[in-house]
Every structure is written in C-alpha cells, then in structure tokens.
Structure 1
Amino acid sequence: MASLEDLIPTANKLQDVMYDAGIDTLDLPVLAVIGSQSSGKSSILETLVGKDFLPRGTGIVTRRPLVLQLNNVAPNSPLIKEHHGEFESSVTQANDNTSELTLEDHLRKNQGFESVDRSEWGEFLHLPGRRFYDFAEIRNEIQNETARIAGKNKGISRIPINLKVYSPRVLNLTLVDLPGITKVPIGEQPADIERQIKNLILEYVAKPNCIILAVSPANVDLVNSESLKLAREVDPHGRRTIGVITKMDLMDGGTNALDILSGKLYPLKLGFVGVVNRSQQDIQSNISVEEALDNEEAFFVRHPVYRTISTRCGTRYLAKLLNHILLNHIRDKLPDIKARLNTLIGQTEQELQTYGGTGAITKENRAGLVLQLMNKFAARFVSSIEGTSTDIGTKELCGGARIYFIYNNIFGSSLKSISPTENLSTRDIQTAIRNSTGPRPSLFVPELAFDLLVKPQIQLLLEPSERCVELVYEELMKICHNCGTPELARYPKLQAKLIEVVSELLRERLGPTRSYVESLIEIHRAYINTNHPNFLSATEVMAGIVDGRKGGKVQSAKKPDLEDARQSIAKDLVKKHNEDSSPTLTSISDSEKNRSSEAFSDDENDSSKQSKDSFLNYFFGKDQQGSHQLNGSTEEYNLNSNKQRVTDLAELDKLHLTDGGQNIENLLPQMSEREQLECELISRLIVSYFGIVREMIQDQIPKAVMCLLVNFSKEIIQNRLVTKLYKESLFEDLLMEDQNLAQDRQKCVKLLETYKAASHIMNDIL
C-alpha cells in the first residue's frame, strides 16, 4: 500500500501508461496553467522547477501543450545509480563497437561522468531512455519537437509534449503549460488563432478532474483577466480554480492587491497566491532561480501591506499549496478512476470477443471454429424468422414479422383490390352468352358461358400470388445477408460463402414454390364447382334481381311519360309479333294468357313466388315440361328478344354488306330486357364464385409458401452448410482473416493490456 506522498508519482505512472498507448480516457487529475501571453506563466514554471528550460521570445512561444511532471528524488535514489551503470555499460559497448556517440555521451566521456550533476535531469516520453542533464538542451528539444509537429510558423497543435523532471529540489507535481491566450493575430499567426487557442485550453480545463491555475498579471485590472474569464466558463462556482497574481512588484505606487489575495474582490475556493517573477534583467544578469526566490520572499516580508500575509505569498508557498491540493484531489478522485478503469477493462474485453478473442487459429482447432460459426449463422437465420433473435430491431418490421405482414397486409390487400368483374363489361357477358349458344337462339342461359367468363377472372389471382412468393423470397434473402456476427466478420470469405450457400438454397426452393402456386390457380380453373356450399343459388340471385327491379319500378313511377312510352312500345311489338308469329307461338291458350296477365297484379306474395319459379325454370331449364307455362312478363321478354334478334340479324346483314364485316361488335344494338337479366345474373354468379376462390387462395398461398420455402429452408439450412463447406481443404481459405479487423483486434489487445497495467498500478495504492 503506497503512502499519500506516492499518489502523485502513481498518477504520473498512470499518465505515462496512457501516453504510451496513445489514449486519454481516464481523465486523470492534473493542474492546467492558463493565462494571457506575457502574463508570467513560463516564469512560474521555471521557478517551480528551479531551472531555465522553457523557450522564450515574442508572440506565441508555447504552441503545444507541455505536460510537465515534477518528481522529487532523494540524492541516494536508486534511479541515479541505475542509470549510472547503464551509462558506463553503453559507453563501453560504444567503444567496443566504435559506434557514434551522442552529444551527451561525448561530453560525459571527455569531462567525466562524475563531473556532471546527476541529481537533476529531464526525460521526454518521445525519447525513452535518454536523460537530459543540461536544461538548455531541454529547451532546444522542446523547440525542435514543437516545430516538428506544429510546423515552423506560428500555428499550434493539440498533441502534447511530455517532459519529466527529476530533482531533489522539486515537489511532486503534474502541470500542463498551455498556449497563452491571445486576442489579435500578429505576424504569421493564423487569423483564427484566438479560437484555436481557446478550444485547445477548453479541452483540458473542461474536464472535472482538472485543477485550473489561472495566471493574471497584477499590473492589469482583474476585470480584464482572460484566464479568470475562461476559467469561469467551465468552473462558474470557482471550486477548482487557483488564482495566481504575478508581477506584484510592478503595480503602480499606492496600489496593492490585498483585496484580491484575501478573496474579497473575486472569491475562489482555493484562493489567490501572489508571486514576483524574475525580470528579464535578472535573467540576463544570470541571477539564479534560488536567488530570485530569496528576493521574492524578502519583497513580501518587507512590503508594508503584504507582510501580514507573507507566509501565504511567493512561489515556494505556491509549490507547497499546489502539491497539497493535487494530493487531496488525486486521493478524492482515485476511487472514481478505479471504477472507470474497471468499466473500461470490461468493455474492452467484450469488444475483443467480437474480434474473435486472443486465441490463435491452429490446424487442430480450425475445424471446430468453422463448425461453430456455421451453427451460429444457421441459428441466427432461424431465430430471425421465428422472432426469437436477441437483437431484434424496433424501427421497422423484419424477419418473421415482415413475412407475416406480407401475408396479411400486402397479399391480402392485393387480392381484395381485384374486382371480380375486372375487365369484364356487360357487353362481354352478352357476347359470351351468345357465343355459347352457337347458331341457335337460346331458350336458357348456358352454363358454358359462366365457365368461360369465370375462369379468366380466377386467373387474375395468379399475379398477386406470385408477387407474394417473390416478396417472401426477398425477405429471406435479406435475413440471410443480415445473419452475420462480429465473430464472423473477422473472416469475410467464410461469411461470403455462408451467404452464397443459403442464397443458392433459397433460389432452389423458389422454383418449386412458384410452380405450386401456379398449379393452385390452375386447379381452381380446371373445375368450376357450382355445388360449393357457399355459392349463391340461382333462385337467390334471381330473387334479388326481381326485387331490385320492382324497387326500380316504384321509383320510375315518378316519371310516367317514360314508363308509358316504354309500355306502349312493348305492346306494339307484342301485337305485331302475334300477328306475324307462327302457329306454335299463337297457340297459347286463353288460360295461359289470363295467367300471364295475372303476373302483373299487385299481389306481392304471388308475384314473388311466381317470379322465382318461372325465372329459375326458364333460365336454367330445371322444369322443361313446364317451360311453356310462362307468365306474361316472361312471354313478353321472349317475344321482345325474338323481335330483337330479327332486328339484330337484319342490322348484321346490312353491316356486313356495307362495311365488310368490320366493327361489328362496336355497332351491336341495345340489349333487350331479357338479355339484361341474363347478364346481371351471370355477373352476380361470377362475383359469388370469385369470392369463394379468392378466399381459398388467400388461405392456401401462405401455407404453400411456408411449407415449400420458409420451413423447408429453416429445416435444411444447417445440413446444407455442413455439406457444402465443412471440408478440410476449404478451412484455410475460409478462415483467412480480414486485415483491417486484425489490426483492430491488435489495437484492442494493446488497449486491454494498457488498462490492466493501469489497474495494477492502482492496486498498489487502493
């Protein structure tokens, strides 16, 4: 179990581990230094380190974040001695191999390693294993590394430079030096430099685990402090902001910052600290940092206003305060970091499993792997159809639910949208009836006409039935292409082969399914079963027609002129026909005539009964012996029909002579009332029978598709995959890994190792 003083070095180790892996997901506690250009940020950092090591100049000097880790080491620390041995070994090896020495090694060889102060040095994470004992070289390396990434102009980069400083004269701290806030671009600075710098600073200070070190010069009004303004955006209550007032010795005479340092003017929970920076003249005069610290301490002790708070001012006090704050902050945040780390480890392990885990593929286990992936693919195919898949979508119908929708919505609606008499006009029915009678006039409505007319209507059910099969087939193909798993995506050739085999199986089943559907339609067309229990009887149909016509007569009574004219014409035709008719037609007895006249009586019950019997006997010849005992209305219809046929024949002869027989159908005369009754009867019977067949088709087609296509594919898919692909000669090619996924898996493995290493570090202190 590590002590409290080891918390900062432990956090630094975690930071190093994350940096090596190139990740930043733990939000480790850190101190971020922000301030305007020339506000004294660099002077504070150099004073904390005790060395001049930061680049200086005009404009933007800090163009990349500098992550500065200060590590306190004892003079007898093993780190110094271990590196001493490594240096001697490297020099000996270099001499033996006559290889080129580094500048550092060359100086040590000429001046002697013991003459170099080995208690203070710096290390860059981008140069692992190399120590910089000369801090002027550290400054040059920072400049070179900045130019390498951010370029030689005044552009900035968010990629940090990580510098670790080891010294017995520093306290354990971790700080991030960020570019100075600027308002106006000058020289070669980009036009949007202010926005770039602000976004870069916010990347660090917006994190809850970041302690903000807001630097403001004392010779500028606090209300104009850019650092405090930016800190307030992310820390409005001032709970994690430390205010640092620099250049205290440059304030105008008669003014002081006591109210600011006391927290009366701008309250911050962590307070304000006043410091005195080394002036440019001190730097040019080579005044050491230690001497500058003494001068700073004397300034506050001798100052008439600040001497009362001199123990809480100065860079030495600031270093202790920052160390204390950072220790407490790390201690408070480590449990959350530990929990976050465990979560990341679990998530990364799950992600790694999606890439197939870390197990290597060998000749011995590849057969089992192929079989396992096949079984998973087949199981996902079946579960998608049955609706038992664990990753069912919620945005749209898919799988079995989509197939059900095809059966009940798409297919059902398509059948209902078909009119039983679609493309079948009254003239078509009349023509079919006449064609069915041949050269003789018909005494009854021929049943052959009903067969001729209803069969093409049944054929209309074929197209939506075939479309239903195609839609289910397309959905099964879609399911097949969506059955891949993350493990299977690792082997694209195997996945492609699995899809190919199942697609071939579905194509094989499409042909028989479609043929069977066509056969169902042909079966219904092959035999017209007029004895079906749901088929309307001719009596019911004729009764409905008669009732409808009687209702029409009642309505037509409102138009006596048209009705009288129609009756007058009908009587004239009957009279003329009786005069010219043959003895057979004129031999109707008086009793029959009286009976026919009684058919037009107002007695509804007698009329309805006589109409049903007479129409049924007449149109379908159920009682041929009584066919001559017709009522008056039927006789009139027959006479009118005969008369109309004579007129039709005369018109046809005339048309044939004058028009060569062209457009005969277009010039057919108007139908007689008897023919209208015949057409209406046939039309109603077609509607009745078509409804019966449509209902059976709507029930039989989904059953056929499920049996021949869906269920068959479900039952045979696994056997087909094993038969086609489970072959030793194919394993090597099938298990060829996708290169991109292989790289992703390697990254995932490295990430998991990083998290576990960080967890091991955390276990030492928790």
Structure 2
Amino acid sequence: MARAFAEHEANLPVGDTLGQTLIPVINKLQDVFAQVSPDVRLDLPQVAVIGSQSSGKSSVLEALVGRDFLPRGSNIVTRRPLILQLIKIPPSPAGPAGDWGEFLHCHGKRFHDFDRIRQEILAETDRLVGTNKGVSDKPIRLKIYSSSVLTMTLVDLPGITRVPVGDQPNDIEARVRAMVLDYIAAESCIILAVTPANQDPAASDALELARRADPAGARTIGVLTKLDLMDRGTDAVAALRNEVVPLRLGHVGVVLRSQEDIASRRGMAEARAAERAFFEARPTLDGGSDALPTDELAGGARLRHVFREVLGPGLDALDPTAELSDADVRTAIRNSGGVRGALLIPEAPFELLTRRAVERLLAPCLQCKEYVHAELLRAAAAAAPPDVARFPALRAVLAEAVEAYVEQGAAPAEAMIRNLVACELAFINTSHPDFIGGNRAIAQGGGLARPPATLRVPAAMSDQEAVQVDVTRLLVASYFNIVRRNMQDLVPKALMLFLVNNLQRGLQQHLIHTLYREELFEELMTEREDVAAKRSGCLSALRALRAALVTLEGLPGEMAGRAAASGRWSFKAMLAEIPTSGYQPLFQCQVLPAILWPGHCSQP
C-alpha cells in the first residue's frame, strides 16, 4: 500500500499533493452546483463551525484564517451560512497585502481590502433577508487566497438562538437547528462545536447538535472559547481532558479577541501572542499530551510513590525476630557453645540469626524492581504517538524494542540488589555506630532477673538463657534496622541508575538503531487494512474527480431543471442518462460511494 501511494504521488505534478489537488477540485464542484440553483447543494468534505449565538464561532474562523474579515456585533450577526474556501498560494513579495478574496456572486472581482469583504458579506445578507435580523439558509460563497492558510473548506453557520427578534419567525430556533443539522449530517463533514468555557459543556447546544449528527463523536472537535472569562476559582481542565463530554478527537481551548480588542484594531499576531502567554501561565489548561493529570499520579510521581509508599513501608513492616522463636534462639546459642557452653552472649548465634533476618529483605526489594519495571513500560506506552495505532507492525516492533531495552536495565538492577544483600550478609559490622552493642543490649534487657518472692519448680529455660535470648533478639533487631535503612536508601538508587536513568539516556538511540533501517521501512509503515482500504478509495475518488471535472463544469445548464423537490439534485437520475464513456463506471462506482455515501464503496 505504501509503495502504491508513493508511485501515485510520483505521478503528480511537481509540488502537487492530494490536499493541493483534491480540495480545489471539490471547490470547483461546489461552485458548479451553486450556479445551478441556490437550493442545490453537494455534500462534500468540509469543516462546519456551529455554536450558540455569540459563542465565538466567527472569532474561531478568523483565527484560522489569520485575518479580520467577518461581521461582528452583540446581536445575531451571522444570518446566512458562509461557505469559506481557503486556498493556499505561493508567498507574495507584498506579504499579507497580496492576499485577496472572491465572492461567487461577484465572479472575477478581487477584494484585497478585507474590510470591504466584511461590508460585502453584510450587503449580500441584507439583500436577501433584509436588515431586521432575518435568517436564511441560502449560503454566501467566499474564497480567500493566502499564503498563510491551509487549503480547506469551512462553513460558518448562524448561531442557535431561542428568542425571535426582528423579522425572525416564532420557530426560529427550530429552523436554525434544522439548518445546522442539514449541513453537519454528511459523514464527510468535520464538526467544530464551539462552546463558551464559562458555560457547562454538558448543556452546550453545539455539542447536543453534534451528538445528534455524530453519535459516536468520531468527527466532532470541541472548541472551548472565552477561557479568560471564567469565574475565579473555576477552570476547564476536566472538559479539556475529555472527561465531561468525551469526543474521539477531543477538545481544544482557545483565547480569542474580545469586542474591545476588535474595536481597537488589535492585530492577529498580537492576539496570538497574548493567547500563548495565557496558556503558558496556566500549564494545566494545555489540552495536549503534556498536560499534567490532576486526578491520578503519572510518570515520575508514580516511581516516587513506589519508593516512598511501597518499598519503605514494606520493609518497615518486616519484624526481624517474628520468625525467631525462643527455641530457635536457645538452640543456636547452645550449638555455638558446644560442650563448654557460653558465659556471656556468644557472637556466632547472633550472626547466624542476623543473616537469616537480613535475607528476608531480598524479596520485597526485588518486588520493588518489578514495580518500577512495569511503571517504565506503562510510561513508555503512554508516550507513544496516537498515529502509531494506524501501523500494527510499527506498533508491535516499537513495543518490543522498548520492552527489550527496559529489560536490559532490569537485569543489572536485579543483580545490584542481590549484591547489596550479599554484601550485608558477607560482613556483620558490629562496630557500626548505630549498632546497640552487647553492653547496651544487656542494660536494655534488664540484666539478671530478680528472684520471685515465691520459688517454684524452675522453668525449662534458665535465667541465664532468658537473658541470652532477650539480648540476642535486641542485637538482631538493632542490626536488622541498620541494614533495612541501607536497603531503603540503596535500592531506589540502584533502580534509578540501572533502569530509569538508563532508559532516559539511551532509549531514543536504541530505537533509532533498532527501527531506523531502510529494509524495515515498508514493513513497519504498512497500515491497517481498513486504513489502506480508505486510502485506496480516496485515490480512486481523486482519479474519478479529475476525469469527471471537465464534464461537470459544462453541466450547470442541464442540471438546472433536475433539482428535486427536496432541493437536492439527484446524481442517480443524471447518471442514468449520461452516455457510456470511459470514465462513467469509475465515476459511478467510486465518486459517489467515496464522497456522498462513505463506507458503501466496494473495493476497486
């Protein structure tokens, strides 16, 4: 699939890409159908901006274009749909002054002054619906040619209003909602649902209409405006993190020019700089992947939790003498004394029992290593770009390479932990300044027990043995605490050295060395079958559109009489009467399914 796509791109003219060829063809088709009748509309790929009245729709469009050209005001301003075709042109020596706009109803006339474009939009709106707030579904078509835009088609729709004013009918809300749904119903339409941030997104008219047209939320992008006007103490973090109204494409926050900024002629460059400063001062509002979560620990914070809240308390919970019964201690003491026995506290049983207690530290330390290993794999998976999901082979190889590199650090980390415990077992340092020592242990143990007032038959353990058992327990516990503190300090250091820091230093180079090989490119960049099928359908549709363009441009006169009662021209009726030609099967089988009925096209 990748090779076929590359061969197709190679056959295009120099500098010609799918976006630079397909979208202009679509724009021409829209112009052709618009000339037939104002009621005839072709559902082609476009981006529709919807929202309630004064939610900031026009400001979002102006921010995308980078020019101030749309009518603004406190009352309803957008009273007719504006189909805005952006066309990217080579940079002009005149800079932004070389940009211009063209209206379909003023064919051939260029507007280099964008204030005149605003005036023409107002005049054309008033010409059709009057000056008293009337609303119409008849679109105004405007093309803007600029070197600073992306080639695309945008639609600015009237804002959803509830109370009729002026010449508006009583059912104005129902009519506007029906108009919006009519434009966004097509599967090829991307929906920008604009909602003020100081309004509850769950009650957003734009998101409610978008959900009706796009129940799965697969082609809706939420846009939160007026973030700078939110009440003090509130924020839009939950909405931007896609938690309030989940959308597959997520939500984005913007800070646009206020009415005062517009009145004072504040430029777009200055407005964008102010917006950037606003978000830099509030990093939690960054809706991207770098935003810090507020509802759970992530990344390094999870590692710190493992070290401080899991390893530390886990080692503290170990009782060094819990598994040492009095019988075990007495047996070790007697065995160390042999035939002669011991007058004081023998050293051999202390070391034997201490080593047995220290060995118990190994298991929780190794378990901590496993937790850190899993957290690193989790962090690496979260850092993978979403686009990787399109390429199953790349995703599998990438995951395998990351896991292999983390494993390379896990082995020496485990060896280091085992060696740390082995070092503690190899030498029992009774001269450590924190070690309690024999004398202090005897003092804390209370020395010899005072004989009771009433003597009875001696117990199985003599007084001397009782002292020896108590003192030995104190000695083991004291030294175990020293080793435990050492392990609590050194194990995180070892894991940071061999796992975390090693991953930070070398993972990128490891991935480049493992994956960046020419012989793997085609295999790794093989897309999923469904993505490849969609791409194949788009390529076929592009070829069909090119082949059919010449014929379609000559059809306005013939099509004028074919408008259906619903206001939409019937493709099927026209195709039934078109004479058989070399492109008819291609047009009939691929253009219609790919553009008008997505998902119903058979494989070419």
Query: TM-score of the superposition, structure 2-length normalised?
Result: 0.46
Tell me which structure has the larger Cα radius of gyration: 1
Structure with greater helix percent: 1
Query: TM-score of the superposition, structure 1-length normalised?
Result: 0.37
